[in-house]
Amino acid sequence: MTKYIEEEPSDAGLMGAIADVGGVTPEALRLLLTLMAGYPIAAVYTKYIAEVPFKTLHHTFFFSCGAGLCYFNYGADTYHSLLGILVTYLLVLFLRHNIKLMIGLNFVFHMTYLLLGYFFTSSNEYDILWTMPHCILVLRLIGFGFDVSDGLKAQEALSNEQKETALPQVPSLLELLAFAYFPSGFLIGPQFPLRRYQNFINGDYRQHEGNVEAGMRRLATGIFYLIVCQVGLSFLPDSYFLTPEFAQVGFIKRIYLLGFWAKFSLYKYISCWLLTEGALIYIGFTYKGKDEHGQPDWSGCSNVKLILLETGNTMEHYVQSFNVNTNQWVGQYIYKRLKFLNNRTISYGAALGFLAIWHGYHSGYYMAFVMEYIVVTTEKQITNFYDKVVLPRYGHFLNNSDVYKVLYFVALKSYNIVYMGWCLAAFVFLKYERWIVVFGAVNYYGFIYLLLWAAFYQSYRHFTRKSSKSNEDVTGAKSKTQ
């Protein structure tokens, strides 16, 4: 398997030497060390600071640790995040009583700054640069602006969700800095509102037990997924799918290889989220309430629903289980804020468009989100057709056939694997010149089968409506003759 892109030389020094031994880039090694640093930070805070009544000490500790880790990763580029936090604080401080102006300026400033950052730094790869934590910060500060504006509204004008995040008082700059740089949340997420941070500092979650054990279990799970990811991608590296060798493999094998590669690629993100979530659980930050057994539920900042991810059969299951906090943020601050449009389709399209723009300029992001919309819509059409047309006619036979049940399970799992490969390819390969090579290597099967279904479904609807109209005309004619 030939390399598509020649690897750049590693940084000099100790970090570069360790990275070379591990077969990763220095940037990736720093990222992993930063995620793991959340655990000793959590241990120090729990033992020495958690019970101290002076909140300033808490804010100073988290700001210092988070900003220090940011500098460890990005050096002088840390100023980008500091500038963003300062601008938002000044906008909130001086313009919060002009809600529309404050929210508008806050939104435009952060999205413009982020997109300019992408423009000047992006390459063909997923870059581990200052823009990576900055895209997390952008959502956090935009959401913070909305929460401040909600705090100025009457309680009856807010939804239950907004009541939980609204900020009736403007925090100090130090508190905002601590919230933005929270050590196990600033680098890759997850998203959480300032109210959660305040509840944590106030000790609202400290009375509940089991967080340390739950955090360590999440850590172990994250390490397991990281190992599986590294082993899997060592056999199926991204570069392989851009080679003539891949295009010459049998078609069925090709689409399954692409599907398994997509699974391993997802594990790269999932492992990082699990590692950072484990640190948040360990420190007691993620309390969600009591579960069905009356035990503390520490999944309040979970960014992945592992059981649904691994047992789901549709693209919608992936959407519901992957990058959960970001999707919830978009739902709360974009989709639901467009309620005045009175059109769910437009709101959903706008939310997906925002997500694509937030990721960057690469065409692969836009293709991936367009495919998500089309595939999820198609799945709903197929489910509707199956429930309303197939089952009423053949349900008795199908539901009592063990052979059919096995075939149904195999078909769904196969679809789950091969279409995930198709949908994720553009997201990973980013540039049109690259992802179109992968699409071509698998004969554009994703487009073809979606078009075939669309042609069948629209034809079926057309003839069904035509037949229904003919029956109504016949019935009407009989009524007149009588």
Contact 454, 378 (CB under 8 A): yes
Amino acid at 277: E
Contact 144, 84 (CB under 8 A): no
Token reading at 460: 């079926």
Catalytic hit among 59, 110, 359, 362: 359
Residue 64 CB contacts under 8 Å (≥ 6 apart), including other chains:
none
Burial 34-52 (b: 16+ CB within 10 A, else e): bbbbbbebbeebbeeebee
Element (H, E) at 297: strand 296-297
Burial 161-200 (b: 16+ CB within 10 A, else e): ebeebbbeeebeeebbbbbbbbbbbbbbbbbbbbbbbbeb
Q: Is the C-alpha dihedral spanning 449, 451, 455, 457 positive or negative?
A: positive
Whether 396 is catalytic: no
Residue 386: count other Cβ atoms within 10 Å of its Cβ.
12
Catalytic hit among 73, 106, 323, 327: 323
Q: Is the C-alpha dihedral spanning 14, 17, 23, 28 positive or negative?
A: positive
Whether 359 is catalytic: yes
Element (H, E) at 316: helix 315-321
Which residues participate in catalysis according to the annotation? Answer: 323, 359
